[in-house]
Amino acid sequence: MLYKNRLLTPGPTPLPERVRLVMAGDMIHHRKPAFKALLGRVREGLAEIFGTAQPVLPLAASGTGAMTAAVTNLFAPGEKVLVVEGGMFGKRWTEIATGFGLRVTVLPVEWGFAVAPETVAAALDADPEIRGVLMQLSETSTTAQHPIEAVAAITRKLDLLLLVDGISGVGITPCPMDAWGIDCLLTGSQKGLMLPPGLALIALSERAWKKAEGLSCASFYFNLCKERENSGKNQTAFTPAISLIVGLAESLEMFREFGLENIYRKQWALTQMVRTGISALGLTLLAPKDPAWGVTGLRLPEGVAAPTLLARAADDYGVIMAAGQGEIKDKAIRIGHMGWVDFADMLAGLAALAGAFRACGGYLGCRNYLEQAEVAYHEALTRGYKRIPS
């Protein structure tokens, strides 16, 4: 009872009480009218967040399941794709595509940075055999955000597909699928949607559907054409993750009440807040200029290891943050600010970070990092994200 636990990881995130309470209701049957009506409402809410007129399909799987579904439904073994690889989740696209028998051209991006759209254009120009681009909206492992709109402008002109892993971005940062011309957008439930993990959501563009229809789906479980057919009847091909869909209806109602634009505004403000706090502490941001809107990373100076620091933040402050991933596993800390969190959670997070840093022998000179962070939050919230070029 010294503190409340605060889950500040880039998924899973804390859950709103009202979402948890509806999920605690007794089970309902997925082939009955009440659930069908619920799925209908869920579809409407998801359509707004995904920004698409196409159906957003729920899969009982984690986000990686939806990535697998995207690759296996949209390509045939032997086809060539370009993967924008700027972190662990970029690598995951490569692994999935390679494992499925696609020929993969990797476009390496320095960790912590966004891809430059002109390098994508150059790679595509250089190899007309490439049939699709696979990338992240937010590369959770490096806390950098890729310029999807600009890449989509490139892929839209060519006859190839843009697949976007929006797992740490959908409902967090704007990514209107139809307006930008994305061909496949997917996410998981445990991020911006404020739910437990176990539900993945995926939508395809008209162009992508045409391609999927022409392929014989390689996966029995992840068969998007079959899911779309069921979706038209407010059903799913297999038993869905009922409790998560019940929770999703409630979290979408919260989105509706608060407004999607206000969510983005809040996420932008939290991002500015955490970045300002970290910089004020004299620490180095992992993504210096292309910030993800739901997670912020910092590089640890020599002599301070992530596991020790995380343990102190958890044990002394009840704040659960994440280490780096892959190459920077022990050399970075990532603070999640997505889902059911607010400015006060970030004050707690920054205070826990500073406290744990001191306890680990790190030197921090700044005395007013919390005030600076709070001011940054307030200013970003007031101005709104649209006036601030990212």
Q: Interface residues with a second copy (CB under 8 A)?
A: 5, 7, 9, 11-15, 20-21, 23-32, 60-65, 67-68, 95-96, 99-100, 188, 190, 196-199, 217-222, 238-244, 314, 320, 322
Least separation in angstroms between CB 92 and a second copy: 8
Q: Which is nearer to a second copy, 57 or 154 (CB)?
A: 57
Chain-centroid distance, C-alpha 100: 23
- β-pairing, 332-336 vs 295-299, is antiparallel
Tokens of 200: 């993945």
Least distance (Å) between residue 375 CB and a second copy? 30
Q: What is the phi-psi region of residue 141: left when phi exceeds 0, alpha when psi lies from -120 to 50, beta otherwise?
A: alpha
* CB distance 15 to 195 below 8 Å: yes
Q: Between residues 265 and 337, which has the closer beta carbon with respect to a second copy?
A: 337
Task: Give min distance, CB of 89 to a second copy, in A.
Answer: 12
Question: Cα(268)–Cα(378) distance, rounded to whole angstroms?
Answer: 11
Instruction: Give min distance, CB of 289 to a second copy, in A.
Output: 28
Nearer to a second copy, 4 or 367 (CB): 4
Cβ closest to a second copy, residue 147 vs residue 196: 196
Q: Which is nearer to a second copy, 140 or 279 (CB)?
A: 140
With b for 16 or more beta-carbon neighbours within 10 A and e for fewer, the 369-379 pattern comes to bbebbbebbee
- 5 vs 368 by CB, closer to a second copy: 5
Secondary structure (3-state) at 268:
helix
Q: Which is nearer to a second copy, 149 or 221 (CB)?
A: 221
Find the shortest distance in angstroms from Cβ 19 to a second copy.
Answer: 9
Mark out the alpha helices in 318-365 (DSSP H runs): 343-359
CB of 321 to a second copy, least distance (A): 10
Provide, rounded to whole angstroms, the least separation between the CB of residue 144 and a second copy: 20
Q: Exposed, middle or buried, 234 (CB in 10 Å: 0-12/13-18/19+)?
A: middle
Token match 């400015």: residue?
A: 343
The Cα 205–Cα 203 span in angstroms is 7
Nearer to a second copy, 10 or 174 (CB): 10
To a second copy, the closest distance from the beta carbon of 214 in angstroms equals 17
Q: Which residues does 20 contact at the CB level (< 8 Å), separation at least 6?
A: 247
Helix boundaries (H) for the chain:
17-23, 33-50, 63-74, 88-99, 117-126, 148-157, 177-180, 206-214, 224-231, 242-258, 260-280, 306-317, 343-359, 369-383
Contacts of 183 (CB under 8 A, 6+ apart): 74, 132, 155, 161, 162, 163, 204, 205, 207, 208
